């Protein structure tokens, strides 16, 4: 099995898991592309991406362009990598950039393509109630997430899964799938499978305005939103005029429904709320400017008798 000369492009923690797996493999990561560091916090100190931090610890060359230009293409030409691996990078690659590596550019995408192309596949799959997702490794072309698929590994989604838990599953499965793909590539054993565009769905970027809960929806729909939007932007509602963010929930069917938003009961460390169809069970929540607490502690700190979530 040949040792590959790799350029890696990625930014968040999800991408860092894949970079670490490559660093610990037999392959050679020579350069990392990651998004520019940004100033944040009170002191306006630079906040670096997880990928940059790992690259720096391992003495890997780092490039942080605002966008991929001819300058970056020329730099890649000088590096002469066998392959470019892209994981949640956040910048579009140009045709000229893609054409340089011997084996092209490949992307690790957290959905079973062509379902959920786009920016937020994990959140949208949970929100839609999908029971199955997976990792797709595809050849990159100039169109967003439309390249030929090289490898797919399915991952189930349970009712209790949030975007946080699914990110962990995708990172673990994806990093191993990536190494398997590279072995197949060097052994010349890969097959390319064109995507069926007729089956494509688009995972649009999450808008913070979507976080507001509409209690007229079913308990299951609201629950899926809560789990999909954990850890950002966090589904929210109001109680007595105060913003409440809900981090974890369950749902159940009811024989008779009450007024949506009305609190059905608050006992046994859970808060039950009527919805348009069924009952939402709140397990963890957060008052404005307060820490996340379980429902039992919330019950002990608030007067919920006769109250309604708006």
Residues 125 and 225 in one domain: no
**CATH at residue 229:** 3.10.25.10
In angstroms, the CA 286 to CA 107 distance is 36
Boundary (domain end) residue, out of 203, 219, 247: 203
Domain that holds residue 257: 208-301
For residues 159-164, give the mean pLDDT: 96
CATH at 73: 3.40.50.170
Q: Taking the model in full, what pTM does it have?
A: 0.93
What is the number of structural domains in the chain? 2
171 and 252, same domain (yes or no)? no
Q: How confident is the model at residue 42 (pLDDT cuts 50, 70, 90)?
A: low
The pLDDT score that the predictor gives to residue 190 is 87
Instruction: Please give the mean pLDDT across all residues of the chain.
Output: 95
Say whether both 42 and 135 belong to one domain: yes
Asked whether residue 39 carries a pLDDT value surpassing 80, the answer given is no
pLDDT tens digits for 54-101? 999 999 999 999 999 999 999 999 999 999 999 999 999 999 999 999
Residue 1 has pLDDT above 70, yes or no: no
Last residue of a domain, one of 175, 203, 231: 203
Predicted local distance difference test score (pLDDT) of residue 294: 96
**What per-residue confidence (pLDDT) applies to 280?**
98
Same domain, 137 and 192: yes
Arithmetic mean of pLDDT, 23-40: 93
Place 43 in a pLDDT band, splitting at 50, 70 and 90: low
Of 181-190, 209-218, 258-267, least confident by mean pLDDT is 181-190
Residues 241 and 162 in one domain: no
Residue 80 in any domain: the answer is yes
Out of 178, 203, 228, a domain closes at 203
Task: Say what the alpha-carbon torsion angle 102, 103, 104, 110 is, to the nearest 10 degrees.
Answer: -160
| pLDDT at site 41 | 66
pLDDT of res. 2? 84
Task: Check whether residue 137 and residue 283 sit in a common domain.
Answer: no
33 alpha carbon, distance to own chain's centre: 19
User: Would you say residue 307 lies in a domain?
Assistant: no
Between 52-61, 106-115, 301-310, the lowest mean confidence (pLDDT) is in 301-310
- In terms of C-beta density within 10 A (0-12 exposed, 13-18 middle, 19 or more buried), how is residue 210 classed? middle
pLDDT at position 44: 66
**Distances from the Cα of 113 to the Cα of 124, 166, 190, 224, angstroms:** 13, 17, 17, 21
218 and 175 co-located in one domain: no
Judgement on whether residues 257 and 165 belong to the same structural domain of the protein: no
């Amino acid at each position: 099995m040949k040792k590959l000369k790799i350029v890696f492009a990625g930014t968040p923690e999800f991408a860092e898991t894949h970079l670490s797996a490559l660093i610990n493999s037999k392959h050679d990561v020579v350069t990392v592309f990651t998004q520019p560091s940004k100033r944040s916090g009170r002191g306006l100190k630079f906040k670096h991406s997880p990928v940059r931090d790992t690259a720096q610890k391992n003495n890997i060359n780092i490039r942080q362009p605002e966008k991929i230009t001819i300058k970056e293409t020329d730099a890649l030409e000088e590096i002469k990598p066998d392959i470019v691996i892209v994981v949640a990078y956040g910048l579009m690659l140009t045709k000229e950039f893609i054409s340089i590596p011997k084996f092209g550019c490949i992307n690790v995408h957290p959905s079973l393509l062509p379902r959920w192309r786009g920016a937020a596949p994990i959140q949208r799959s949970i929100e839609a109630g999908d029971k199955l997702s997976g990792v797709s490794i595809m050849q990159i072309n100039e169109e967003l997430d439309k390249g030929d698929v090289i490898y797919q590994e399915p991952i189930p989604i349970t009712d209790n899964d949030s975007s946080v838990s699914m990110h962990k599953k995708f990172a673990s499965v994806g990093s191993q799938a990536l190494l398997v793909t590279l072995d197949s590539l060097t052994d010349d054993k890969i097959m390319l499978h064109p995507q069926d565009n007729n089956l494509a769905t688009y995972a649009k970027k999450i808008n913070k305005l979507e976080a507001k809960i509409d209690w007229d929806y079913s308990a299951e729909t609201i629950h899926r939103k809560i789990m999909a939007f954990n850890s950002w932007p966090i589904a929210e509602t109001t109680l007595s005029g105060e913003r409440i963010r809900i981090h974890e929930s369950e749902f159940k069917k009811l024989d008779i429904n009450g007024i949506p938003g009305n609190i059905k009961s608050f006992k046994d460390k859970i808060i039950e709320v009527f919805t348009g169809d069924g009952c939402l069970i709140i397990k963890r929540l957060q008052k404005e400017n307060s820490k996340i607490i379980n429902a039992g502690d919330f019950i002990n700190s608030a007067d919920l008798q006769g109250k309604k979530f708006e």
